[in-house]
Structures are given as C-alpha cells and as structure tokens.
Structure 1
Amino acid sequence: MHTTGAKGATSDEHAPRPVVIVGPTGTGKSDLALNLAEELGGQIVNLDAMQLYKGMDIGTAKVPQADRRGIPHHMLDVLDVTETASVADYQREARDVVERVRSGAQTPIVVGGSMMYYQSLIDEWNFPETDPVVRGRYESRLDEIGVQALHAELAEKDPEAAKTILDTDPRRTVRALEVIELTGKPFAASRPKIGKPRWDAEIIALDMATGELDARLEQRTRKMFDQGLIEEVRYLARNGLRNGVTAQRAIGYSQVLELLDEFENSEPTAGAIEEALHRTFIGTRRYVRRQRSWFRRDTRIRWLDANRDATELLVDQALRTVRKPS
C-alpha cells in the first residue's frame, strides 16, 4: 500500500481516483480539465507528447501560464526539442506524479490525446529493452531506403503491426522492427494488457460530429498561424529543433520547417503560408481519425458530446460520471 508521512497525505485505498480526459484533438479537453480541477480540487497532469517540449506552445495549443487559474500543471515543458520523447520515460515519470498528487488528497486530472501515452499510464505495459546496435541498424536502413520502404519490410515481417503504424511514422516503424528482432515475437506481443484501469481511474472522452470538428480544426489551425507559429518554429529551429528525433515531426512544426527551408533566404509568400496551413490542417484531421479509432475501441471510456450546444453541460455531465459509485 502506498503511504506517505506528509501532512494531509492519505493511504492509497482512500486516495482520490484520477480522472482521465482523452479524445480527438480540438474537442475542448483542456477547458474541461481546468473546470474539473476547480470543482474537484485537483491538479492537472499532461497527456500530450508534444506538450512535453519547452517552447512548443502555439502549435500544441498549450494552455498559457496566465490561463491556468493557479492550478498546478505537471509533465509540461520537461524536454528540450533536441531530446527524444519516450513512452517508457513518460510512463515512469507520470505515474510518480499521479501518485504524489493522490497522496496529497487531491484529484489528478490527466488530460491529452496521445494514444500510447494514455495506454502506458493506465494499463500494465512493460516495454521491451532497446538495443542501440539493433536500433542503429534499422535507423541506417531508414536513412538508406526511406520510411515507406522500411514500413513495407515491416509489413512482410509483421502485417498486423504494419496495419497499426502509419507508413509515414519512421520512429514507430524502427521501434517495431527492433522489438520483433529482440523478442522473436510479433510486435503485438508487447502490447499492454487491458483490464481495470490503474488506480481505478475514471476515463472520459470528448467528441463531436465530424463536420463540426473539421470546421473547428481549420479555425484552430488558422489561429495558430495568426498567433505566430512560424516565428515560434524559427526560434526553435535556431535552438536545435531540426536535431530532435520527435519534436521536428510534430504536426504543424514539420510543415513550417518545410516552409522555412523552401524560403531559406527570403520571407515566405502568402500563398506558401496558406499551403503550409492547409497541410497542417490535413495532418491534424488525419491524426484525429486515428485518435477517434483508437479511443473508440476502449470500452472503459465514457463518451461525452462536446458539440457547440452541449459545451455548458459538459462539466455537469463529467461530474456526474466521476462522482457515481465505483
């Protein structure tokens, strides 16, 4: 049993159950998290892989410090853009954060849409060790033939793994091939064991009609560019963004890096900016489809309608969900 001697601390069996808020990008998860944290006396734990990075603020829709209502936020701004985000590292550190918040008799409000990070936090998932030699060989192969050809090789070795990994995702393609070689088993054998959520967490997801969400995503993307996404990427590029394995591939950041490379010695034209904006929107919309598919498979999740007319009801609906007898 987890206990602590700190004043006001509580034993694990009487500690508050975490509330986990997931779902597609752009559905209002951060706003709901802030409202629930105020209602429940909670602290927020980030579940967005790209919000781990310092300086990646506009393009990740990170809640500004001034808008956090004095509520403690954890797992934000913990990595430099040159560092590689790791699901295993997140799992270890975020679980420690959740335990500390619970031991202080406060409710952890875990919020974000990164699918594997979510799974690693609430389920039993033991990650196979990495081997620098094996990984290095596949990374060299990646540089030699490109991600789509390497993904085709994965499809030959493990068709099921290839179905779950995009052929534009070099890091996960390399990792799957590494795990298959190291374990001698299909990549699926290392997937998490799904059961009762860790800490008996209450899991809520937000979604809305596809047409409404698409319109919201397009507006949100345009707002990011208007707020200075290009300038943010310029600054991060001067501080090593291109050297990062994960950060440079974030949606929005990769599109703007391509834009800046195209106009290396001049300012991008309005037409080129509009094209980068459109590609960012398309990339976000594609990612949303993956999020929706992933989370919809999890029968433990309680789905709430986040459409425009339902916004004012979300807090009450969420509170009824988390306060029901377990």
Structure 2
Amino acid sequence: MLSGGPDTSALPVIAVVGPTGSGKSDLGVELALALDGEVINADALQFYRGMDIGTAKITVDERKGVAHHLLDTMDITEEASVADFQARCRGVVTDIHSRGKRAIMVGGSGLYVRAALDTLEFPGTDPVIRKRLEEECDAFGLAPLRARLEQVDPVSAARLGDARRVIRALEVHELTGRPFSSFMPQRQYHQPAVQIGLSVDRALLRERLANRVHAMVDAGLLREVERLDAEGLRQGKTASRALGYSQFLKVLDGQSDVQQAAEETIVATRQFARRQLTWFRADPRIQWLDWQDPARLAKAVELAGHS
C-alpha cells in the first residue's frame, strides 16, 4: 500500500526508567543520538521552571543537541497532574513519530510513566468536594475519613496512607459512584512500548546519592530554594514537597542548618530510590540493564528494536 509518509504506527515508545541517580538522563540522550530520537521528560519535578539544581535537571550542554520535551513547562505554584501529563505526553509522542523519529521517555516518576504507556483512565475532579473533604480533615483529623474510605473502598484504604490520597479516593467515589481502586490499570500498553530499566548496585547508589546531594549544595541549592521561595514555592502543593526543597526551606526558616538539611535530603533521597525500585521491579515488562555495563547503550539499542 502506498503511503504519503513514514509508517509510524509500529514504532514503539522507548521508556528509560529506574531509580534516581542511576543515569537515566544520560542513557536517554545516548539512545536519542543513536536512534534519531527525541526525549520526553517523565520526571514530575522537572516540569517546574527554576527547579534545576535540586532536581538534577539535565543541562542544555548535557542534552548534546537532542530535543527535550516537557521540561520547564510549569510554574512552581501549579500542581502537577498525571492526567494532564498523560494527554500532553501522548500528543508529543504522536508528533515525534509523525516526523519519523523515535520517542524516548525518560523518568523515575512511576505513575507518570505508567499513565503515558498504559491504558489508564483518570476520573475527573471536583474542587468543591475536595475542599469540603480537606476542611473535614483539618477539623477532625484523618481517622474519620479513612474509616469512611474503608467502607466504600477497602482496597484503596489498605493501599493509601497520606491525607492527600485518602481525600482523592473519597472525592472520586463521591463524584463517580465507583471505588478509586476500580480505576487502577491492568498492565496493558496503550500503544507499542519498550521499557528499559537501569539496575543498580544499591551500595554504590547510596554513596552516589550522598555525593550528588553534597554537589547540589556546593552548586547553590540553598540560593535556588531562596529564589524560588520568593517566587511562591511554599504555595506550590507539588513543588514545595520536593526532595531537597522542603528540607532547605527549613534552613531559611532558621529551623535547620545546611549540614543537617543535606543529611535529611540524603536520607529522603535514598528512601525515594528504594520506593522507585520497588515500583519498577513490580512490572515484569521492564527489561533491565546494568547501569555500569560498558555495553549498555548497544544493548539498549537492541532492546529498542534497532540493531
């Protein structure tokens, strides 16, 4: 059959995943150069303009001329939305593939990666319902809300711990009449995809993460937090909770010093890396490569279906 352009229907999305500090950004660039591709950011905190040092955002020089999408798209006062990311990311994938190039998604935000790759339905939101539930939580604590969730959605009640997620689950149930857990996806790709995970030596990763936090401090993390604080960092529900930023806001408030904030950031970052590994290890479709394998690029290119 004759066609007016390249057949892009069979091109898989390539996703490079794994814990923070494992070298995903570098591999994404290397793959893009090898496969004539473009990178799509799937790290929720790298959406934010100005959050550069603390998120280890890839620099312009490190991108080596490769186009990067969905970086620096939001103000720090905005709240990141998985549903919005899903729509925007899929639009970018379509655009990249329509030009005959390869779409390479890079990031460690597991739910965002899954939202882009998998068949996943997002229920709507209702700010009135959410505000009422938040006010109930403020007035009476989380326990009554959790008890209510256990009655209408015991699966979610067993999975969700913090107030924000419990409130979201109750909001969805009240809005749709369905339990929040019913919206959880099967592991079924929305379109062809290849997931490449970077497998790490945990002891080496722990040391690397500590060194990276100290390097961030030396690079001016406190100054970055101070500047963002003046721009409304504390008003951002997503940005203000980011690793490093919440800890260094305490320094600005006189509740901590730089050394203590750095140590707390290291601990929190290591915990986050463990959660990422748990999330990604649960997906049997991910094909793992050793993060320090000298041949990892060649193996990644082969996994991407391009030898």
Is structure 2 residue 294 aligned with structure 1 residue 305? no
Residue of structure 2 in register with 1:244 after alignment: 236
Residue of structure 1 in register with 2:278 after alignment: 293
After superposition, give the CA deviation of every residue in 1:1-28 in whole Å (9 maximum; x if it has no partner): xx9x7xxx534325x3221001111110
49, 52, 77: which is aligned to 2:47?
52
User: Where do residues 86-105 of structure 1 align in structure 2 (5 Å cutoff)?
Assistant: 86-105=81-100
Residue of structure 1 in register with 2:181 after alignment: 188
Residue of structure 1 in register with 2:251 after alignment: 259
User: Where do residues 101-250 of structure 1 align in structure 2 (5 Å cutoff)?
Assistant: 101-144=96-139, 149=143, 152-153=146-147, 156-157=150-151, 158-167=153-162, 170-195=163-188, 197-250=189-242
**Corresponding letter in the other structure for 1:205:** G
The structural deviation recorded for 1:187 is 2.1
After superposition, give the CA deviation of every residue in 1:109-165 in whole Å (9 maximum; x if it has no partner): 10001111011101111111111111111222343356x657754764445324443
Change (3 A) 1:154 1:236: farther
The structural deviation recorded for 1:85 is 0.5
The structural deviation recorded for 1:65 is 1.4
| Matches of 1:123 and 1:31, distance apart in 2 | 24
* Structure 1 alignment gaps of length 5 or more: none
Whether the aligned pair in 2 keeps the contact of 1:21 and 1:203 (CA below 8 Å) is yes
* Structure 2 alignment gaps of length 5 or more: none
**Corresponding letter in the other structure for 1:12:** T
The structural deviation recorded for 1:262 is 2.3
Q: Match of 2:191, SS?
A: helix
- Normalising by structure 1, we get a TM-score of 0.87
| Matches of 2:157 and 2:19, distance apart in 1 | 22
- Normalising by structure 2, we get a TM-score of 0.92
More off after superposition, 182-191 vs 48-57: 182-191
Change (3 A) 1:144 1:10: farther
More off after superposition, 153-162 vs 175-184: 153-162
User: Where do residues 13-24 of structure 1 align in structure 2 (5 Å cutoff)?
Assistant: 13-14=9-10, 16-24=11-19
The structural deviation recorded for 1:251 is 1.1
Whether the aligned pair in 2 keeps the contact of 1:151 and 1:162 (CA below 8 Å) is no
| Matches of 1:251 and 1:236, distance apart in 2 | 14
After superposition, give the CA deviation of every residue in 1:204-246 in whole Å (9 maximum; x if it has no partner): 0112122111111111111111111111010011001111111
Cα RMSD after superposing both structures: 2.1
**Corresponding letter in the other structure for 2:233:** L
Whether the aligned pair in 1 keeps the contact of 2:137 and 2:145 (CA below 8 Å) is no
Question: Deviating runs (4+, > 4 A) in structure 1?
Answer: 148-155
Aligned length: 304
**Corresponding letter in the other structure for 1:30:** S
Change (3 A) 1:142 1:223: farther
**Corresponding letter in the other structure for 1:323:** G
Q: Match of 1:181, SS?
A: helix
Q: Match of 1:120, SS?
A: helix
Change (3 A) 1:177 1:88: same
263, 276, 280: which is aligned to 2:261?
276
